[in-house]
Amino acid sequence: MTETQGPRMIPEPYKIKMVERVRLLPRAQRERAIKEAGHNTFLLRSEDVFIDLLTDSGTNAMTDTQWSAMLQADEAYAGARSYYRFVEAAQEVYGYRYVLPVHQGRAAEHILSQILIKPGDIVPGNMYFTTTRLHQELAGGVFVDVIIKEAHDPGSEHPFKGNLDLGKLAAAVEKAGSHRVPYVAVGAPVNMAGGQPVSMENLRQVSAFCRSAKIPLVLDAARAVENAWFIKEREPGYADKSLKAILREMCALTDAAAMSAKKDAYANIGGFLAVNDEGLYREAQNLCVVYEGLHTYGGLSGRDLEALARGFLESVETDEWMAHRIAQVRYLWSRLDDAYVPLVRPCGGHAVFLDAKAILPHLSQEELPAQSLCAALYAQSGVRAMERGIVSAGRDAKTGENHKPALELVRLALPRRVYTQTHLDYVADGVIETARQGNSVPGLKFVYEPKYLRFFQARFDPVVRSLAAARR
Ligand code: PM9
């Protein structure tokens, strides 16, 4: 499907061999469940969720070939055949020289940050990601956002809203001094901006800048195949190239990658840290045994390594998987757009993002509109979504003040190969109805706020407003 053809669905390039029962609780039970979960969708039991769009991370349905590869796993502690298959597949698909398995993306971020960042360093990047920024901060660094301004505007139709602003990047490096910039981080696509892609042209310019400043460029490769799809679709000169070739071209412009393989690789767990520099690889291998396990399994079983190895190869063996995935996300996006639900535009790769500020204009950002909308959507429909606004943004590490992101979003992330068009129609109806009743949705306030990555475990209570305040 091309963009100009609109939201028509294309048939699934697979058929279903095994199913898992889901059930829709009655409304009164859903209201009780979300209250018991402290109005945080992360704290719901999954059996109480009808359609689970919390995340596309590790929630994918694997192919029969991935499952059968798992049976052939070598579970040796050291030097397992499965390890070599994993490394060779990752090298073939992503092209980096050295690949270190880790249990998931944040483990790669942890090891990389511990090795490269020294207290007082800055790390420029295209919009923060929760776990990435935290590991940079725990290592003593400060994240500096250098994404283009359009990324902070949900209504901007810029085709590559994930792009880095070269001017902002150069200014940040100039201000800190290049010796205080251990690396530049590029997420492609940018999760927190709405799954918005980075163009090859921009990657090329950023890469040239980093190489001339002798600063390594590190790719967050979690959904890089999705980014390759957008380059193919939107950037002149790429329409006839395979996703595999585009992905390799993207990676070749960077020096290393932190990878959460729970997304593009259609697996349930896993990740890697990939680098071209041998010295960095040796240091990473060494920290791996401290935090993850031996460098030939990195916290993963042989079964996981096998599923991942197949997953890497299958993610780019045909463009059909991605064509269908993007069509599904666009279908849901278009149904909501047709009903005038405020959304992040244009439609991104892995999820549909609702503009909670616009849907609940009666709430101030301190009343946590996106968190409130997530809770209301679950109560209305049994659909689980994720807050991506002020709660996710957390507090400034130095001042303790809340970060106040311009984007206050609810994310409906689509697990790969899990839900059907009928499920998406149900979700659309639930969102439309929740948005329609928007002004009756109460705000929320923290009653428990953990120190790190608060969105995962925080608890909330509804804000009770006086009648006079509600009328204002
Ligand atoms: N992303 C997501 O739902 C998992 C939970 S939310 C923290 O979007 C990027 C771009 C990600 C990501 C996880 C990680 C961390 C790094 N980069 O969850 O540790 O989207 O495997 O990866 C989630 P892990």
pLDDT of residue 18: 96
Which residue, among 378, 416, 452, has the nearest Cα to 45 in the 3D structure?
A: 378
Tally: H helices and E strands in the chain: 18, 14
Residue 75 near residue 301 (C-beta atoms within 8 A): yes
* Prediction pTM value: 0.96
The β-bridge partners of 412 are: 352
pLDDT of residue 464: 86
pLDDT of residue 247: 98
Q: Decide: 271 in ligand 1 pocket, CB within 6 A.
A: yes
Domain co-membership, 368 together with 241: no
Domain co-membership, 347 together with 266: no
Calculate helix-pair angle for 320-338, 302-317, nearest 10 degrees.
Answer: 80
Condensed to tens digits (0 to 9), the pLDDT of residues 256-288 reads 999 999 999 999 999 999 999 999 999 999 999
pLDDT of residue 469: 60
pLDDT of residue 471: 53
Report the mean per-residue pLDDT for the chain: 96
CA-nearest residue for atom 16, ligand 1, is: 105
pLDDT of residue 470: 55
CA dist 97 and 297 (Å) reads: 18
The Å distance, Cα 26 to ligand 1 centre, comes to 31
Positions in the chain whose pLDDT score sits under 50: 1-5
Q: Decide: 195 in ligand 1 pocket, CB within 6 A.
A: no
Domain co-membership, 13 together with 125: no
b/e sequence 148-163, b meaning 16+ C-beta within 10 Å: bebbebbeeeeebbbb
Say which CATH number the domain at 409 has.
3.90.1150.10
Condensed to tens digits (0 to 9), the pLDDT of residues 403-448 reads 999 999 999 999 999 999 999 999 999 999 999 998 999 999 999 9
Q: Domain total for the chain?
A: 2
Domain co-membership, 129 together with 242: yes
pLDDT of residue 465: 73
Q: E-assigned strands of 308-458?
A: 351-355, 383-384, 386-388, 409-413, 444-448
Residue 417: which domain range? 3-56+320-471
pLDDT of residue 2: 43
Residue 401 near residue 426 (C-beta atoms within 8 A): no
pLDDT of residue 239: 98
The β-bridge partners of 24 are: none
Which residue among 289, 317, 345 closes a domain?
Answer: 317
Residue 421 near residue 330 (C-beta atoms within 8 A): no
- Enumerate the active-site residues: 77, 129-130, 220, 263, 388, 455
Which residue among 268, 290, 317 closes a domain?
Answer: 317
The Å distance, Cα 260 to ligand 1 centre, comes to 7
Domain co-membership, 147 together with 251: yes
